[in-house]
Structure 1
Amino acid sequence: MNRIIYLNGEFCSETDAKISIFDRSFLFSDSVYEVTTVLNGKMIDFDNHMKRLDRSMSELKFSKMLDHELIKKFHKDLILKNNLKEGIIYLHVSRGVADRSFNFPPKETDLTVVAFSQEKNLIENKESKNGISIMTLEDKRWKRCDIKTTQLLYPSFAKAEAYEKGFDDAWMLRDGYISEGTSNNAWIIKSGKILTRQADDLILNGITRQSVINCAKILGYNISYKGFTLTDAISADEAFITSATTFVTPVVNINGKKISTGKPGEFTGKLREEYIKNSLKTAI
């Protein structure tokens, strides 16, 4: 498939897209990104993704911000041009092109803005039906995980190690507590209560995470915003992950040990159904 992509105000074929070798995202990972879910050709949680984009750019001291209406338009154009029914739009914003230097470029430097689509089976897939297996490892990332930057080498290593060892993904441990997954937030259910780490500098406050919290409240579930240990997770009644591409996906095995029965849990299934229902209702 030769997709149409968006690059700095223009649409072009993916084979024709070119970015300078002096772009700071290439040299320093000096860039941020967002991933917006698309269902039935419509975007999920777009406004909240834009709020987080603004925050990420502000935290990295970008000298310019982007117009949300412009972003919305080229997102919708990409959906139409690529006939995207189910999948994601990836948005990437870097500080721009400048000769290599650790100092930031002049404030008038144009940002580099790239967006492209990916088709994915988000609603119907084997992971949501059967659950996934997780391994744990030490969280060695920097301490500003709340900013959605493209500095993803360690999470990539973690996921690769998990695959090599026969697991689907990895949860990271910091000071004895689960922080989050390689590209998702981590949750457990124990004695009728949902536990997820508080939103701080050491995790990304996922947009799907925020929506799932609202869904849990609609369903009448109690939520505790506190860290949980590996022992807590293994002894939980249920466990799951959330992200823009996994929605609510059950975790049935951690480090080779079954979570409860080793099958997707009832509460997790209900949360996933509620999330999808609400997402389809509010999509734009």
Structure 2
Amino acid sequence: MDSQYSGIANINGEMCSLLEAKIPLSDRGFLFGHSIFETLLVKNGKIVSWDYHFERMLFSCQEAFIKSPNKELLLEWAQNTVNENIKKSGFINKKTQLRIIISGGNSFDLSIKKDQQILPKSNVIIICRNVAGPSQENYLIGIKLKCMPDLRAPALVNIKSCSYLYNLISLENAKKNSFDDALFYNSKNVITESTTANFIWFDENFKVMSHAFQGNCLAGITLTRLITGLEKAKIVFDWNELNRTNIASVMGCAIISSIRGIVPVRQIDEYKFDTHTHNKFFEKLSQALQSEES
């Protein structure tokens, strides 16, 4: 394997090295942020939860006035990109990140449609690269989260939009204060999600909870898989609200996303959690999630 190998890109069906990939300057995603994306886990060479991701992708495309790609063709392109990544890297990585970006096509005009009926042809950009996931230290010790007001556009919360500017600003401000990530709270002081992941917590009875998706945080596919796994493992789950004034009442919490899986949280603002005491329960949560990774 080339020591400089970084991954594979597939642009509208054409494969190339990730470092050599190019898009036109007229791409609407580049010009206006007119694009949506999905990040999928590829486990041992197999794409996880394709149907769920494609369904959310369709919703995002419809809401963003982007022409959605053909499901079968997109799956073929995605799998070809995964296979090419395995070929170029020389091995099947345990965890691989597959990012699919659908942009509104090519146009320097702010208006989307050329006429009143037809959406322009979209651009499909697929990136596949090997990743390590969270470090063992992150998993055993936990990460630190800084609470910040959620000032993102409410209309974009349910859309997997590439417009991540406020998330990036919040993440960097959290790091400036020696935290690992930012944790958003809404106008009612209720915690919703982090900049890149859903948020879960559990009480003294080990009931797992998370904030409801609708209008508050992105409908996380990995969290949905976890809920199914928890039911099979006979661990209680419930939708709930966590006010930042009540953080001290929480026994433990974590963030959850496709690539990182479940990462325990050891601190939110000044509140600290004993991740070591509940390490076995975090392991049960991870096992419940992994049981649904098919």
* Alpha-carbon offset, residue 278 of structure 1: 2.9
Q: Contact 2:171–2:195 (CA<8 Å) still a contact in 1?
A: yes
Paired position in structure 2 for 1:79: 82
**In the superposition, relative to structure 1, how do residues 128 and 24 fare at CA in structure 2: closer, same or farther (>3 Å)?**
same
Paired position in structure 2 for 1:178: 191
1:269 to 2:283 alignment: yes
**In the superposition, relative to structure 1, how do residues 245 and 4 fare at CA in structure 2: closer, same or farther (>3 Å)?**
closer
Amino acid at match of 1:100: D
Q: 1:7 aligns with which of 11, 34, 48?
A: 11
Q: 2:169 aligns with which of 137, 157, 166?
A: 157
**Range with greater deviation from structure 2 (146-155 or 245-254):** 245-254
Paired position in structure 2 for 1:94: 103
Residues 20-51 of structure 1 show CA distances to partners (whole Å, capped at 9, x for unaligned) of 21211112111100001011111111111111
Q: How is 1:79-158 mapped onto 2 (pairs within 5 angstroms)?
A: 79-83=82-86, 85=93, 86-101=95-110, 103-106=111-114, 107-122=118-133, 125-144=136-155, 145-158=157-170
* Alpha-carbon offset, residue 262 of structure 1: 4.4
* Alpha-carbon offset, residue 108 of structure 1: 4.9
Q: Contact 1:187–1:195 (CA<8 Å) still a contact in 2?
A: yes
Partner SS, residue 41 of structure 2: strand
**In the superposition, relative to structure 1, how do residues 277 and 108 fare at CA in structure 2: closer, same or farther (>3 Å)?**
closer
1:240 to 2:269 alignment: no
Q: Contact 1:252–1:264 (CA<8 Å) still a contact in 2?
A: no
* Alpha-carbon offset, residue 276 of structure 1: 1.7
**In the superposition, relative to structure 1, how do residues 41 and 142 fare at CA in structure 2: closer, same or farther (>3 Å)?**
same
Residues 122-163 of structure 1 show CA distances to partners (whole Å, capped at 9, x for unaligned) of 376332222111111111101031110001011111111122
Q: Contact 1:233–1:239 (CA<8 Å) still a contact in 2?
A: no
**Range with greater deviation from structure 2 (268-277 or 109-118):** 268-277
* Alpha-carbon offset, residue 234 of structure 1: 3.1
2: CA distance, partners of 1:15 / 1:224 = 44
Paired position in structure 2 for 1:68: 71
**Range with greater deviation from structure 2 (200-209 or 116-125):** 116-125
Alignment TM-score, normalising by the size of structure 2: 0.88
1: CA distance, partners of 2:208 / 2:168 = 28
2: CA distance, partners of 1:277 / 1:262 = 23
**In the superposition, relative to structure 1, how do residues 67 and 243 fare at CA in structure 2: closer, same or farther (>3 Å)?**
same
**In the superposition, relative to structure 1, how do residues 222 and 232 fare at CA in structure 2: closer, same or farther (>3 Å)?**
farther
Partner SS, residue 154 of structure 2: coil
1:51 to 2:55 alignment: yes
Residues 89-139 of structure 1 show CA distances to partners (whole Å, capped at 9, x for unaligned) of 0100011111232x2132252111101112111376332222111111111
Paired position in structure 1 for 2:224: 210
Task: Give 4+ residue runs of structure 1 displaced > 6 Å after superposition.
Answer: none
Q: RMSD of the alignment, in Å? A: 1.7
1: CA distance, partners of 2:24 / 2:263 = 38
Identity %: 24
Residues 215-238 of structure 1 show CA distances to partners (whole Å, capped at 9, x for unaligned) of 111122222212211233332111
Which sections of structure 1, spanning at least 5 residues, go unmatched? none
* Alpha-carbon offset, residue 2 of structure 1: 5.0
Partner SS, residue 291 of structure 2: helix
Q: Contact 2:65–2:119 (CA<8 Å) still a contact in 1?
A: no
The number of aligned residues is: 277
Amino acid at match of 2:64: L
Q: Contact 2:228–2:292 (CA<8 Å) still a contact in 1?
A: no
Alignment TM-score, normalising by the size of structure 1: 0.91
Which sections of structure 2, spanning at least 5 residues, go unmatched? 87-91
Partner SS, residue 82 of structure 1: helix
Amino acid at match of 2:100: L
Residues 234-276 of structure 1 show CA distances to partners (whole Å, capped at 9, x for unaligned) of 32111011111221111111113212x2436233220112212
2: CA distance, partners of 1:278 / 1:2 = 29
